[in-house]
Chains A and B, each alone.
Chain A
Amino acid sequence: MRNIWIICRKELHSYFVSPVAYLLLTMFALIFGFFYWNSVGYFNQVGLESQMRGQAFPMSVNEYVIRPLLSNVSVIGLFFIPMITMRLFAEEKRMGTIELLATSPVRDLEVIIGKWLAAVILYATMMLFTAINFAFLFRYGNPDWKPLAIGYLGLLLQAGGLLAIGTFISTLTRNQIIAGAATFGVCLMLWVLEWVAGYETATWAKVLAYMSVITHFDSFSKGVLDTKDAIFYASVIFLGLFLTSRSMESLRWRS
């Protein structure tokens, strides 16, 4: 446990002393701000129109603003995840510092979890910026906080899985660009897999669609905590970290 925290702190340190973290946070804040602005603007427009027609119907902030925004965040996240994970192992391999970690009395798994945890924490920090925007909804409206909390949980779980896969890909190369590009490709594929379900109903299509990380987010964005989806994300995290540890071990046998 202690070793995990030592590694995690070191990783966070290198995220935050370099421009990496600030660049990611700024870009994310800008993009999300734009999405938020559009979403709230649309909500106001619809609200105004329905009032003008004289037949105002009840509108939920959760339903019209928070839910689509959370879904958007889960997609925007796909683009940021490669940038978070690409350096994790690739840089250590290139700088030779992996030799320090591998010859110190820490287990491979502690190194892996420490690094992954740092990536999750950076992602969670990004999520904090969305919370600033949402805070205004609570100030001027009256949304329900529980679906939002579950939505955040879903985002973290989804990101945790993709970050674990990114961590794994980062162990495969000493070139950060390659690690980043490959992770981006995998993230994108895991997103669009669900499209096959649109025109095909055979079993293989269902399996492919099930593997898509996005479909499992639907329930979370609705504010429903579905164990099936939570378990799916947990398995992705486990698989990613497991592959990373295998890869670390094979690194020793190959290098």
Chain B
Amino acid sequence: MITVKGLTKRYARTLAVDHISFEVQKGQIVGFLGPNGAGKTTTMRILTCFLPPTDGASNVAGFDVLEQPLEVKKRIGYLPETPPLYPEMEVREYLTFVGRLKGMSGSSLAARVGEVSERCAIADVSSKLLGKLSKGYRQRVGLAQAIIHNPPVLILDEPTAGLDPKQINETRELIRSLAGDHTIILSTHILPEVEQTCQQVIIINKGKLVATDSVHNLQNRARGAESVVIEVEGRDSALDAKTVQHRLETVSGVSRVVFKETLNNRSSFEVESLQDRSIRGDLARAVVESGWNLNELRPTAMSLEEIFLQLTGAEQAGAAAPPPVEAVAQGRES
């Protein structure tokens, strides 16, 4: 539904988007994740034909954004970062205006305005001035505006910004209910939002694509099987990496042991557990009971948050710091 190849956008001095390529299948909800200034909004603006790209090709709903912008615009609904509202218009007036702008008219438009107002929970303010609405209502009118013409592609720039927790849940619910018929790209810097609403994640940072994966895979990396890095030191005699590896493999719950390196009589391994097994306690005991020193025992499976932070390079040192060995060795659950 959306294909982006080598998309680049250069402003006077800065490179906002740097050769991004990704694909979005029909009916999917894709989370566009990145810290502020990563290039999310710029990418979305290019996809909506608001900005022309410096280089690269993007195809939305079968049409090229540079070649046939009008055809693309007919097929997208776009909620910019700040909802594009005219303060002097009433909600119903505004939605009718946008509907007309998107090519609707007559009674079908009137019916659709009512339907969309219901769906976005703004029916109770339909004759209020947009300028008088609270932030939450403004955001939802913005969303209503984006879906008024029932477009196959929805591009939402931080759709839940400024909403209270209840409204956030309702909005996510609404977005989820739109999937299937609609292909949705939503940008956010809130991780749980991606976990809850999206099937696919695209992580970008400083204009570069860092990762694109399904939420399922990312969650597996985050939650499922445990993966730890373990470093073992020989105490009195030289350490034989093979022996250690065999010993580790016999610990219950271990599915795989990968030898990494030996340095100064210390060997390190990457150990993966079976699904839903906690192995750190048993590993520590096995090493110590065999008469070796346990130098390091560090979980490598990261939460989505950590994956995100690490991929985007922010606060890397803090997020990836290994927990103290004793604490891990004592408690099985951390």
Interface residues of A (CB under 8 A from B): 3, 6, 10, 13-14, 17-18, 95-107, 252-253, 255
Taking CB atoms, residues of chain A closer than 8 Å to B45 are 99
Taking CB atoms, residues of chain A closer than 8 Å to B100 are 6
Q: Which of the four size classes fits the interface of chain B?
A: 20 to 34
Contact B84 A105 (CB under 8 A): no
**Stretch touching chain A among B47-55, B169-177, B243-251, B278-286:** B47-55
| Nearest chain A CB to B259 CB, angstrom units | 54
Nearest neighbor of B90 in chain A, beta-carbon distance:
A17
| Nearest chain B CB to A117 CB, angstrom units | 16
Contact A103 B86 (CB under 8 A): no
Q: Does B181 contact A (CB under 8 A)?
A: no
Taking CB atoms, residues of chain B closer than 8 Å to A106 are 101
**Given A97-B85, A104-B101, A107-B70, 14 extra CB contacts under 8 A:** A10-B86, A13-B89, A14-B86, A14-B88, A14-B89, A17-B88, A96-B80, A100-B84, A100-B101, A102-B49, A103-B48, A104-B98, A105-B73, A106-B101
Dominant secondary structure at the B interface:
loop
Q: Does B97 contact A (CB under 8 A)?
A: yes
Contact B76 A103 (CB under 8 A): yes
Contact A99 B84 (CB under 8 A): yes
Interface hub of B49, B51, B100 (most chain A Cβ within 10 A): B100
CA distance A6 to B98 in the complex (A): 10
Q: Give 9 closest A-B pairs by Cβ, nearest first.
A: A100-B84, A105-B73, A97-B84, A103-B48, A105-B74, A104-B101, A99-B80, A96-B82, A6-B100
Taking CB atoms, residues of chain A closer than 8 Å to B73 are 103-105
Taking CB atoms, residues of chain B closer than 8 Å to A97 are 84-86
| Nearest chain B CB to A24 CB, angstrom units | 16
Contact A252 B52 (CB under 8 A): yes
Taking CB atoms, residues of chain A closer than 8 Å to B82 are 96
Instruction: Write the B142-171 contact mask toward A (1 if CB under 8 angstroms, else 0).
Output: 000100000000000000000000000000
Contact A95 B50 (CB under 8 A): no
Q: Which of B42-94 contact A (CB under 8 A)?
A: 45, 48-52, 70-71, 73-74, 76, 78, 80-82, 84-89, 93
| Nearest chain B CB to A95 CB, angstrom units | 7
Dominant secondary structure at the A interface:
helix
Contact A104 B89 (CB under 8 A): no
| Nearest chain B CB to A169 CB, angstrom units | 21
Taking CB atoms, residues of chain A closer than 8 Å to B76 are 103
* A99 and B89 contact, Cβ closer than 8 Å, known pairs A6-B101, A104-B73, A105-B70: no
Contact among A10, A18, A96 with B84 in the assembled complex (CB-CB below 8 Å): A96
* A100 and B48 contact, Cβ closer than 8 Å, known pairs A14-B86, A95-B84, A105-B73: no
Taking CB atoms, residues of chain B closer than 8 Å to A3 are 101
Contact A99 B101 (CB under 8 A): no
Contact B101 A252 (CB under 8 A): no
Contact A105 B80 (CB under 8 A): no
User: What would 22 A/B residue contacts be, using CB atoms closer than 8 Å?
Assistant: A13-B93, A14-B88, A14-B89, A17-B89, A96-B80, A96-B81, A97-B84, A97-B86, A100-B80, A100-B84, A100-B98, A102-B49, A103-B48, A103-B76, A103-B78, A104-B73, A104-B101, A105-B71, A105-B101, A106-B101, A252-B50, A252-B51
Q: Does B103 contact A (CB under 8 A)?
A: yes
CA distance A105 to B82 in the complex (A): 20
Contact among B49, B88, B98, B103 with A18 in the assembled complex (CB-CB below 8 Å): B88
Contact A105 B86 (CB under 8 A): no
Contact among A17, A96, A100, A255 with B51 in the assembled complex (CB-CB below 8 Å): A255
Nearest neighbor of B75 in chain A, beta-carbon distance:
A105
Q: Does B277 contact A (CB under 8 A)?
A: no
| Nearest chain B CB to A5 CB, angstrom units | 9
Interface hub of A18, A102, A103 (most chain B Cβ within 10 A): A103
| Nearest chain A CB to B12 CB, angstrom units | 8
Taking CB atoms, residues of chain A closer than 8 Å to B93 are 13
Q: Does B26 contact A (CB under 8 A)?
A: no
Contact B86 A95 (CB under 8 A): yes
Taking CB atoms, residues of chain A closer than 8 Å to B78 are 99-100, 103
Q: Does B189 contact A (CB under 8 A)?
A: no
Interface hub of B71, B82, B86 (most chain A Cβ within 10 A): B86
Contact B50 A99 (CB under 8 A): yes
* A10 and B97 contact, Cβ closer than 8 Å, known pairs A96-B84, A97-B84: yes
Q: Does B223 contact A (CB under 8 A)?
A: no
Q: Which of B280-319 contact A (CB under 8 A)?
A: none
CA distance A10 to B228 in the complex (A): 62
Interface hub of A17, A99, A101 (most chain B Cβ within 10 A): A99
Nearest neighbor of B71 in chain A, beta-carbon distance:
A105
Q: Which of B85-126 contact A (CB under 8 A)?
A: 85-89, 93, 97-98, 100-103
Contact A102 B101 (CB under 8 A): no
Nearest neighbor of B83 in chain A, beta-carbon distance:
A96
